[in-house]
Amino acid sequence: IPGVKLPDFSQFGEVKREAMSRMMFATANNMQRSWLNVPHVTQFEDADITDMEDFRKAQKAAGEKKGVKMTPLPFLLKACATALAELPQFNVSLDMERKEVVRKSYIHIGIAVDTPHGLMVPVIRDVDKKGLWELAAESAELAQKARDKQLKPAEMQGACFTITSLGGIGGTAFTPIVNTPEVAILGVSKAAMKPVWDGKEFQPRLMLPLSLSYDHRAVNGADAARFTSVLSQLLGDIRTLLL
Ligand code: CAO
């Protein structure tokens, strides 16, 4: 690709140069590799999490006893694991050299963690086999390890899919970059109260914005719409996560 020729910035004002950290350079290369190799499309959906949030908040005392904080993330992990099992075309990698699709029989999900030294993506293994408390404890532990630079290489490998949640910060939607060789990534923005028409009147409902970016070589648009619909149904009635 054509390189970007830098001007001499000092002609415009004072500048300082500093070396990129190894992590920043590696992340930059990974982002560019994915951006250039993967034909990206992003599918948007709002999930009604009013009841889920009531349930989650009701777990506060139980969480304090266990020493674990229940955030929306474990529900998202569980819903994504169910959606990946229902729509296995999302749980693949493409081997373009051998012209093969690699189908995975396991469900490991990466979580993007914002740290002072950059973006890290620890991986929770076998999400489909774990309960909400276990997922809450494990994601908090891995996120802390990421912030403390204590993650082992094995703890950052093997993901089938990634969740990147900016919901604790803000924003209404974004278009995440697929963490290739995975073929999809779920972006989560901040839940907000919205008027939702129930057929007779508007009801105030807490709506969670979801942004699913996918590799259009592996997944078609109809499947992406199915995936976000499944997520929205599961998060809208979390009893269905038990089915
Ligand atoms: N909508 C509204 N509130 C939300 C929310 C959402 N979608 N998601 C989380 N929150 C709330 C939590 O409930 C919590 O509130 P309370 O303290 O009142 O309960 C608060 O926001 C903070 O949550 P958190 O961010 O600490 O916890 P989490 O489990 O939601 O997220 C983690 C953990 C690791 C995903 C997060 O800390 C993080 O690093 N996010 C950034 C990821 C990132 O940088 N992605 C971009 C990658 S591409 O550049």
153-202 residue pLDDT tens: 999 999 999 999 999 999 999 999 999 999 999 999 999 999 999 999 99
- Position 201 scores a pLDDT of 97
In a domain, residue 211? The reply is: yes
Question: Is residue 132 in some structural domain?
Answer: yes
Contact yes or no for 211/44 (Cβ under 8 A): yes
If we measure between CA atoms, which residue out of 172, 169, 161 comes closest to residue 44? Answer: 172
- Give the closest residue to 188 by CA, choosing from 77, 91, 55: 77
Could you identify the atom of ligand 1 that is nearest to the CA of residue 209?
7
Closest protein CA for atom 49 of ligand 1: 119
Q: Which residue has the least CA distance to atom 7 on ligand 1?
A: 167
The CATH number of the domain where 87 resides is what? Answer: 3.30.559.10
Quote the pLDDT of residue 95. Answer: 98
Please check whether residue 207 is in contact with residue 52, taking contact to mean a CB–CB distance below 8 angstroms.
no
Domain extent, residue 64, equals 18-242
Element (H, E) at 85: helix 72-86
- Distance in Å, CA 86 to ligand 1 centroid: 26
Residue 1 lies in a domain: no
* DSSP-derived pairing of the beta strands 184-188 and 109-111: unpaired
Ligand 1 pocket: which of 165, 172, 174, 231 to mutate (most atoms within 8 A of CB): 165
Check residue 1 and give its pLDDT.
85
Q: How many domains does the chain have?
A: 1
Q: Report CA(188)–ligand 1 centroid distance (Å).
A: 9
What residue type is assigned to position 202 of the chain? F
Helix (H, G, I), strand (E, B) or coil at 149: coil
> What is residue 126's predicted lDDT score, i.e. its pLDDT?
98
Query: What residue owns the CA closest to ligand 1's atom 16?
Result: 71
User: Taking Cα atoms as reference points, which of 198, 109, 215 lies closest to residue 162?
Assistant: 109
Q: Is residue 10 part of a domain?
A: no
Q: What separation in Å is there between the alpha carbon of 96 and the centre of ligand 1?
A: 35
Q: Which two tokens stand for residue 59?
A: 């777990």
- If one residue of 56, 71, 120 were mutated to test the ligand 1 pocket, choosing by the most ligand atoms within 8 A of its CB, it would be 71
The whole-number pLDDT of residue 242 equals 86
> For residue 133, which amino acid is it?
W
> CA dist 160 to 16, 52, 75, 93, 241, Å?
40, 25, 17, 8, 20
Q: What is the token pair recorded at 172? A: 């209404």
Catalogue the active-site residues: 216
Within the chain, which residues score under 70 in pLDDT? none
Q: Which atom of ligand 1 is nearest to the CA of 208?
A: 7
Contact residues of ligand 1, CB 6 A cut-off: 71-73, 111-114, 119, 143, 164-168, 176, 188, 190-191, 208
